[in-house]
Chains A and B, each alone.
Chain A
Amino acid sequence: MNERMTKIHLFGLAGLVLLLIGSYLGLLVAPSERYMGDVQRIMYVHVPCAWNAMLCYIFGFGFAIASLWHHRPRWDALTVASIEVGIVLNALLLVQGSIWARKTWGVWWDWDVRLTTSLIMLLLFAGVLALRSFVQDPSRRATWTAIATIVAFVDVPLVYFCVRWWRSLHQVQSSPDTVSSGMVMPLRLNAIALLLLAIWMVAQRARLEMNRHQQEQVAEPARIEPVGGLEDV
């Protein structure tokens, strides 16, 4: 167990070191963008946040299916951990996007497809956590979290296509072939760094959730009355 924890902490440490290197390259070494100037450097955290938030939600969806099928506390812990880390990255993404938009588009917010989808995605998964916080019974909490996660995840592509039919302002994604090679490296480093940090955070959060579950199992025989949660069903 201890050895595994050390390995997990290595992920966090490696992520932090890579993030420092990537940010140094992005802020000081990479060339300045021709039209947007230095504000474009926000891309080096913005794009990795978007990729990793989406990755967290995808994993959360996978864990939710596993949790619904196998009813193991481990899958439930991983589901909630992935969703929470996804929400943190998603919130960061929106804040960074807003700052970037203010400088380049002149507005804090625009009803563009990716902006709107990101915001709705945040609200969808925040709803899952809200539902979870109201359920006291551990097995029901796990099942309902999994159900709400699956229902929310399936909605994401629908929301995306729906908003896409409105006009879109967001720039088209660049590819490594179309940008300066000096820009590719810090972006890749930061993407990997955030991925490692996300894995570390998910593992830590899942461990906390497992501890909570074990504590609830111990407290079970005492029949503690739920406070403000379940009605007498």
Chain B
Amino acid sequence: MSLLRQVWTVVRKDLLLEWRGRSRIISVLMFGVVTLLLFSFAVGPDSTMLRAAAGGFLVLALLLSSTLGLSESFRIEQEQRAIEGLLLLPVDPVALYYGKCLSNTLFLMLLAPVLTPVALVLYSVELSAVGLVTLLGLWTLAAAGLSAPGTLYAAMTSRLQSQDVLLPLLLFPLVVPVLMGSVKAVTLILMGDPMSQLGSWTVLLASFAIIYWSLCGLLFPHAIEEGS
């Protein structure tokens, strides 16, 4: 089986499991909405302030929900030792990584179309159709950037008892460039971009994704090898 087919098999397995259960996506989305609500409570009913911080709040809600989704992605593999079965299959560990990473990216991409309208309503921000499409495209890059180290670390920490603490502890400082880049870019989309800065932040997000997709793909086979 070629590498691409193996990757596709893993993606298909994950999507099928997700579609049959649907519990992960629903609970993670609910969590995102609650987070957006909590941010507005923290700032108070000042609509000017809420509007100014809307980009940051939206990205933070997406990031927090993403971490929850990522940690769940390998927890299901631990149930009934499913991971052992996966590793016994004649599948290249690299294919396993990219399959998991791709399904995680698709999963995280689904968060933005739901959470963005909620944020627009809650923080009273206007956004054109073109703006919405740009925002979703940008979040795709950010989702790819989050999934690469997220999948690697989720695979490692899912075997430890303190996964809920460890994964954010490892991931949050690491994805600071993704967070900064997407907060800046989303704010520019929502508030206007008179200096045409959006391009630079998009390049930053793309570079992060490319670097970590390559690096983590190299490291993943070591992370799950013998003794693991």
Contacts of A165 in B (CB 8 A): 184, 200
Contacting A at CB under 8 A, from B101-120, are none
Establish whether residues A127 and B170, one from each chain, have CB atoms under 8 Å apart when the complex forms: yes
Interface segment among B62-70, B90-98, B123-131, B154-162: the answer is B154-162
Tell me the complex Cα distance, A233–B83, Å: 9
Give the shortest distance, in Å, between B104 (CB) and chain A (any CB): 16
Establish whether residues B180 and A147, one from each chain, have CB atoms under 8 Å apart when the complex forms: no
* Given A127-B173, A231-B78: A151 in contact with B152 (beta carbons within 8 A): yes
Establish whether residues A131 and B156, one from each chain, have CB atoms under 8 Å apart when the complex forms: yes
> How many B residues touch the partner, as a band?
35 or more
- Residue of B156, B174, B181 near A124 (CB, 8 A) is B174
Contacts of A163 in B (CB 8 A): 180
A228 proximal to B (CB < 8 A): yes
Tell me the complex Cα distance, A64–B75, Å: 28
* Given A158-B177, A162-B204: A147 in contact with B152 (beta carbons within 8 A): yes
Contacts of A137 in B (CB 8 A): 227
> How many A residues touch the partner, as a band?
20 to 34
B76 proximal to A (CB < 8 A): no
Establish whether residues A231 and B159, one from each chain, have CB atoms under 8 Å apart when the complex forms: yes
Establish whether residues A151 and B204, one from each chain, have CB atoms under 8 Å apart when the complex forms: no
* Given A130-B169, A131-B166, A230-B159: A143 in contact with B225 (beta carbons within 8 A): yes
Tell me the complex Cα distance, A61–B83, Å: 30
Establish whether residues A135 and B219, one from each chain, have CB atoms under 8 Å apart when the complex forms: no
A159 proximal to B (CB < 8 A): yes
Chain B contact surface mostly? helix
Nearest A residue to B218 via CB reads A150
Give the shortest distance, in Å, between A192 (CB) and chain B (any CB): 31
A123 proximal to B (CB < 8 A): yes
Task: Tell me which of A123, A127, A139 has the highest count of chain B C-beta atoms within 10 A of its own C-beta.
Answer: A127
Tell me the complex Cα distance, A147–B212, Å: 12
* Given A134-B160, A233-B159: A147 in contact with B177 (beta carbons within 8 A): no
Establish whether residues A151 and B219, one from each chain, have CB atoms under 8 Å apart when the complex forms: yes
Contacting A at CB under 8 A, from B127-177, are 149, 152-153, 156-157, 159-162, 166, 169-170, 172-174, 176-177
B208 proximal to A (CB < 8 A): yes
A38 proximal to B (CB < 8 A): no
Tell me the complex Cα distance, A139–B223, Å: 11
Establish whether residues B161 and A147, one from each chain, have CB atoms under 8 Å apart when the complex forms: no
Query: Which residues of B are in contact with A by a Cβ distance under 8 Å?
Result: 78, 81, 83-84, 149, 152-153, 156-157, 159-162, 166, 169-170, 172-174, 176-177, 180-181, 184, 200, 204, 207-208, 211-212, 215-216, 219, 222-223, 225-228
21 A–B contacts from the bound complex (CB under 8 Å): A120-B176, A124-B174, A127-B174, A128-B170, A131-B156, A143-B223, A147-B219, A148-B156, A151-B219, A152-B174, A154-B215, A158-B177, A158-B208, A158-B211, A159-B176, A159-B177, A161-B177, A162-B204, A163-B180, A230-B160, A231-B161
